[in-house]
Amino acid sequence: MVPLTNSPLPRNMIENSMFEEEPDVVDLAKESPSYPIDSDDVVYEPRSSRLLVRGLGENDLDEEEEDYESSARLLGMSFMNRSSSQRSAAASSYTRQQPSNSCSVPSAKKMVVGILVLVIIAFVAMFIYFVPRCTFSKDGCQKTNSSIEQLYPKASNGELFPWTGLRLPASVHPVHYEISLQPNLTAMTFQGSVAISMVVLQETNKIVLHSYDMKIINSTFQDEKVNILEYKPWQQIAIKVSKELKKGEIYVLKIHYSANLSNSYDGLYNSSYIDTNGKRRVLAATQFEPLAARKAFPCFDEPAFKASFVIKITREAEYISLSNMPKVKTTPLGDGLFEDEFEKSVNMSTYLVAFVVANLSSVSKNVSNTLVSVYAVPDKKDQTHYALETVAKLLEFYNRFFEITYPLSKLDLVGIPDFLAGAMENWGLITFRETTLLIGDHSSPIDKQLVTSVIAHELAHQWFGNLVTMRWWNDLWLNEGFATYMQYMSIEEVFPELDIDNEFLSVRFKALAKDALNSSHPLSTKVYTPEEVAEMFDSVSYEKGASILLMLKATLSKVAFRKGVIEYLKRYRGLNTQSEDLWMSLSQVTNPHTDVAEMMNTWTVQKGFPLVTVNRTGIQVNLMQEHFVLNADNATDHSNLWHIPLTYVSDICNNSSSCKQVFLFKDKTATIEVSEKVKWLKFNYRSDGFYIVDYGEQGWRALIIALKENVNVLPHEDRAALINNIFALSRQVLNLLVYLKNETETAPLTEALTQLNHIFMLLDKRSDLLLVSRMTDFKILHHNQSWEEESSVSKQALRSALLETACHLGRPNCTNQANRLFVQWRTSNKTEHIPGDLLKTVLSVAAQTEKGWQVLLDTYKHSIYDSEKRKTLQALASTQDVRKIVWILKAALDGSEIQTPELPLVISTVCRHSAGYLHAWDFVKENWDKLTQKFSIGSFPLQSIIMSTTSQFSTKTHLDEVERFFGSLKERGSKMRSVQEAIETIKLNIQWMDRNLVTLWKWL
Ligand SMILES: [Zn+2]
């Protein structure tokens, strides 16, 4: 899946004063802060306390015990103290009694009474044990024993539900599903029936599976009526059978049910759009990842329960239906209804099942024996050609690269008008937002870059994710990190003109920023609850995952890496894996001395990344590694070590990759030797590694001098990385920025702009008007940019970033030109083209006047070009008029005039401006329950909304307010990781202000 948002990730810089000038200048940051904050007044509720609500499951007892232990550890001393105090109380009462009796000899009468008591106790115990046939096993006694009743939850009919785990028991495994569905697009309901064939792996007398919010009409087990028990909190249903099910036998459970089409963008949900004739059209589509297949049909909804599927869909004549597999036949049912039946699928996880019922048009092409089609609503059929050509090239590339041919005979890409994720990799039926699939006349090369990236990502999933699937959501990064890595790698090979390497570089910087927070998490993280699973779809799984794979590829070599990947896919084809399996495959194809697992585990099981500090004395270069964390509470764990494949170049040799020196840095410290002649060293060549470097005063100075003399002394990725690292470390930022006047490349300039913009935004939100006005004169904006058509994607990316900032800051030479272009565009009825990469900037300037805003609202409603529509929406949301801000937030929430999936984008755009920032925050507080109905707790859109509305606060008052609000939510979202992230970010902002504001005043 690809989440889609434009909200910026927090970029923080603290520690030292970032505006430190020459080392001999007084460091103002070390002066006492003017607004001291007390970090002790925040108490985090341990996330892992949630683990304690789980019961014992028979398939993961060991893991369970481990969880209880770790929960106890994480819950801290109160838990441990309680149990130890109970233990000591028991012990002391024993020791108290002991001395009083130790010296006395019991009388014969006392002994007889004692024996009698023992016999009675034994008899009672045997009675309890045998008579009610209670075994005291994990299955428990379901009749009389009250302590067992407490262990088992009550099903909705009041009976005991026979299972206590969030994960399903492993005793039964589904083999095949026959699913028949009849969506009613008028009543917005559907009827369904499912027949699940399952094999018994361990004798059992119960079957437990998932089902969510459906009305079960009737059900049979082995063709006999059976009672279904439901435990709603865990979205589970179960049947109990009187006779043990035999190991190795196949059994069939049939369930007939009905449900409403979901209106929360997951499960089988209804979607609608207005066509060019102004008529509202409806369709039904699915989005199952991660846990919503259970909303469409009862199933074993965990990725390791792979099975085959036969799907039948009943539809009206005006619609077509699509599913993972090609259609086998259509049967008329009378009353204008038809039933489409699809071929039996390959074995796959439930989250990959998909179907669509809609009125769609398509274009198709045969690619290496696969019929590839791109579908869109009829009005937008013309916009499908770019996607078709792109997917054709990428399919050929992946078939060749993985040495495994895409296994299905068809591949459909469908643009869904009302879709929440960016796209979803359902096997054979990839669904997209229209913006990530359709390319019209108005699209810019940057829009093409987006569409190509999303297609490349989803297509890579057909191998990574679909063919080989992670065993459980804790290893989601195996799916997402790989698909993200492959997306950049394949585009670099197949579409070099799209300059994707800059994009990948900025993605790595984003991942570093996120992972530098204490609230980050290891790539592989234990997850159980639906909210925890949803939270795994974040920057760490996608962006850090891709970054460490790039680092590994750079270490092993392109050829060895590819060989290992092919080995992995071939060995685990059709199966489920965990991280270890990948490392093993990669180890096998590399030099026997490289223990890939040993190295990579340091990157996947620990959160964060290392800071390498360099200290040179003559020929000796001393290195030290430590966990880099932007920590407002100063609670860093210094014991973490990484196996860093450290690389470096120097002024002696720096202009080709053969200059790169490699050194596996495993210990806390290490020393390397370089020639006396070496003037400077640059570590982490081309920023391929996931770590940052502090060169020390001398080292930074040498690099800055070299860059001031000649920017080309280092590749542009290295220059961008120096800017990124220096901001992260808050070191000699000012000195380095001086070199920028000679910089012309996109990556370093956009990185500097991102960092400066972040500071600007913080100041803007504090209404520090004087500083804000001074900052609008960023020297970096003096680059003269053209407003004409520009074919290089990289140049487009640079100029659109620079001009967007310049116009946002209200610089007249930018806004005047933007207004001129807008008037031409409007008066020529849009025939005077505005270059696509500048469209958002131009429209955002125009949206600041009443007339301009109304014109844009009309454009938004009628445009059939989604990239134009989205840019228009961003322009509308950039208004400074509070009434309009209130209107647009509400319209996007209720979905009437602005589609609800765009709400996170609307909020993040509103939050860029001081006029709307507090309104957006109030809006989130007031509408929290509505928001969580649309976007589930932990989901990516909700993560984005939380960060957009809080990450620019930098005062204690706001910190208190944010903590108070989220704290009051309790089970309605207070435990989300993004809430911890938000609180941590605000604390970091406060600290940054305390440390840098004075220096900033001097600088500006
Ligand atoms: Zn994905």
> pLDDT per residue over 416-432, tens digit each?
998 899 999 999 999 99
Secondary structure letter of residue 741 according to DSSP: G
- Contact criterion met (CB below 8 Å) for 902 and 892: yes
Residue 461, annotated as binding a ligand? yes
Position 798 scores a pLDDT of 93
Residue 783: which residues within 8 A CB-CB, separation 6 or more? 749, 802
Residue range 869-925, pLDDT digits in tens: 999 999 999 999 999 999 999 999 998 889 999 999 999 999 998 889 999 999 999
Cα–Cα distances in Å, from 131 out to 117, 122, 181?
Answer: 21, 14, 47
pLDDT of residue 992: 87
Q: Which residues are 612's β-sheet partners? A: 625, 693
Q: Which residue has the tokens 């970091």?
A: 988
Query: What b/e readout covers 874-905, taking b as 16+ CB neighbours within 10 angstroms?
Result: bbbbbbebeebbebbbebbbebeebbbbbbbb
Ligand 1 mean position to 542 CA, how many Å? 8
975 vs 61 pLDDT, higher one: 975
Using the predicted structure, report yes or no on whether residue 549 has a pLDDT greater than 90. yes
Higher pLDDT, 478 or 263: 478
606: Cα separation from own chain's centroid: 18
At which residue do the structure tokens 């069939």 appear? 252
Peptide bond preceding 326: is omega within 30 degrees of 0, i.e. cis?
no
Q: What's the gap in Å between 36 CA and the centre of ligand 1?
A: 43
Highest mean pLDDT pick, 60-69, 146-155, 457-466: 457-466
Distance CA 571, CA 568 (A): 5
pLDDT exceeds cutoff 50 at 989: yes
Place 789 in a pLDDT band, splitting at 50, 70 and 90: confident
- Return the bridge partners of 358, or none: 320
β-partners of residue 410 are 371
Of 701 and 638, which is predicted with more confidence?
701
Secondary element (H or E) of residue 737: helix 733-738
DSSP state of 404: S
- pTM value? 0.85
SS3 668: coil
Residue 150 has pLDDT above 60, yes or no: no
Residue 682 has pLDDT above 80, yes or no: yes
Q: Could you tell me the two tokens for 158?
A: 């009041």
145 or 83, higher pLDDT: 145
More confident call, 735 vs 94: 735
Please give the distance, rounded to the nearest whole angstrom, from the Cα atom of residue 452 to the centre of ligand 1.
14
Report the pLDDT averaged over residues 153-172: 95
492-502 confidence digits (pLDDT tens)? 999 999 999 99
Query: For 307-344, what is each residue's pLDDT tens digit?
Result: 999 999 999 999 999 999 999 999 999 999 999 999 99
Give CA–CA dist 126/115, Å, rounded.
Answer: 16
DSSP state of 937: T
Alpha-carbon distance values, 522 to 344, 354, 552 (Å): 38, 31, 17
**394 three-state secondary structure:** helix
Spot the catalytic one: 458, 543, 790, 984: 458
Is the pLDDT at 712 greater than 60? The verdict is yes
CA dihedral angle for residue 623, residue 625, residue 629, residue 632, rounded to 10 degrees: -70
* Sequence-distant (≥ 6) Cβ neighbours of residue 629 within 8 angstroms: 516, 517, 518, 608, 636
The amino acid sitting at 698 is Q
280, 585, 768, 810 from 773: Cα distances, Å: 47, 56, 9, 10
For residue 878, give both structure tokens.
């950039």
- Return the pLDDT at 637: 63
Q: Is the pLDDT of residue 199 over 60?
A: yes
Preceding amide of 941 cis, omega within 30: no
The residue type at 564? G
- Specify the higher pLDDT residue, 248 or 22: 248
- Taking the C-alpha atoms of residue 227 and residue 210, their distance in angstroms, rounded to an integer, is 15
Pairing of β 429-433 and β 320-323: unpaired
Cβ burial of 584 (10 Å; 0-12, 13-18, 19+) is middle
Reply yes or no on whether the pLDDT at 971 is more than 60: yes
CA of 1 to the centre of ligand 1 (A): 3
Q: Is the pLDDT of residue 460 over 90?
A: yes
User: What was the pLDDT predicted at 931?
Assistant: 96
Q: What is the DSSP letter of 540?
A: I
Max alpha carbon distance in the chain (Å)? 114
Distance (angstroms) between ligand 1 centre and the Cα of 2 equals 5
**In the predicted structure, residue 18 carries a pLDDT above the cut 80:** no
Beta bridge partner(s), residue 229:
238
Query: Predicted confidence band at 146 (pLDDT cuts at 50, 70, 90)?
Result: very low
Q: Is the pLDDT of residue 205 over 80?
A: yes
Residue 457 is labelled as binding a ligand = yes
Out of 72-76, 181-185, 552-556, 700-704, pick the least confident.
72-76
Residue 465 Cα to ligand 1 middle (Å): 8
Residue 468 has pLDDT above 60, yes or no: yes
| 147 has pLDDT over 50 | no
Annotated active-site residue 458? The verdict is yes
Taken as a whole, the chain contains a residue count of: 1004
- Is 301's pLDDT higher than 80? yes
C-alpha distances (whole Å) from 930 to each of 560, 671, 942, 944 are 50, 57, 12, 16
Taking alpha carbons only, the member of 901, 824, 839 closest to residue 442 is: 839
